[in-house]
Amino acid sequence: MSTSSNTTIEFDVNHNGEFKPNPLTYQHGSLLNIHVLQMNFEDMVSYLKWKIPRQFITPYYMLPPNYALSGMKQIKNDYETNVMYDNAKVARKLRFFVSHTPIDLSTVLIPNNGSLKESLAALDGEAILEEQMLALMHRFADRFTDRRIEINNLMVLHDHPLIDYA
């Protein structure tokens, strides 16, 4: 195993599950927490094959900070492995996924041609949009709840005699 630094990097490895599209989720899997030194792509795959009992096809990792599955990147070579380690050094921990069956995730993956800064900028834009949508949904839910209370109060009102205190 070739290493380029003595610091270990933490990964939460999701395995024994499967990706489901629309919305993209990873279901029925197990979680393995590992601390490893930086290594090349082949050594990383060999290590994971030793740690994970079931054969896998493709490794992926998620970019921080919000860890949305839409922030995943596929790892295919040493360059992408080094970019992943650079991300891990900044984030201190990464979530890692392995695919045990062939699945085309090309429409949801972040392209592997950008730098860490570009990848995080794209993810930050998505996170902002997600937060805006969530805020709108909460406002709608609050309005709906307020109106339901008003309607319930009006429905109860017809059972009570009105008292005139004039």
Domain ranges of the chain: 9-110
The answer to which of 15-29, 67-81, 104-118 has the lowest mean pLDDT is 104-118
Of the pLDDT bands very low, low, confident and very high (cuts 50, 70, 90), residue 103 is confident
With a pLDDT cut of 70, the percent of the chain lying above it is 61
pLDDT attached to residue 119: 56
158: alpha, beta or left? (left if phi > 0; alpha if psi -120 to 50): alpha
Q: What is the mean pLDDT of residues 52-58?
A: 89
pLDDT tens per residue, range 15-40? 999 888 777 788 889 999 999 999 99
Closest CA to 19 of 85, 83, 70: 70
pLDDT attached to residue 63: 73
From residue 7, alpha-carbon distances to 37, 38, 39, 46, 50 in Å are 6, 8, 11, 20, 21
Backbone angles phi, psi at 152, to 5 degrees: -60, -40
Hey, what are 87's tokens?
Answer: 């991300």
Whole-angstrom distance, CA of residue 62 vs CA of residue 74: 9
Backbone angles phi, psi at 62, to 5 degrees: -105, 140
CATH 2.170.140.10 assigned to 9-110: no
With a pLDDT cut of 90, the percent of the chain lying above it is 23
Asked if residue 115 has pLDDT above 60, the reply is: no
Q: What is the mean pLDDT of residues 122-149?
A: 66
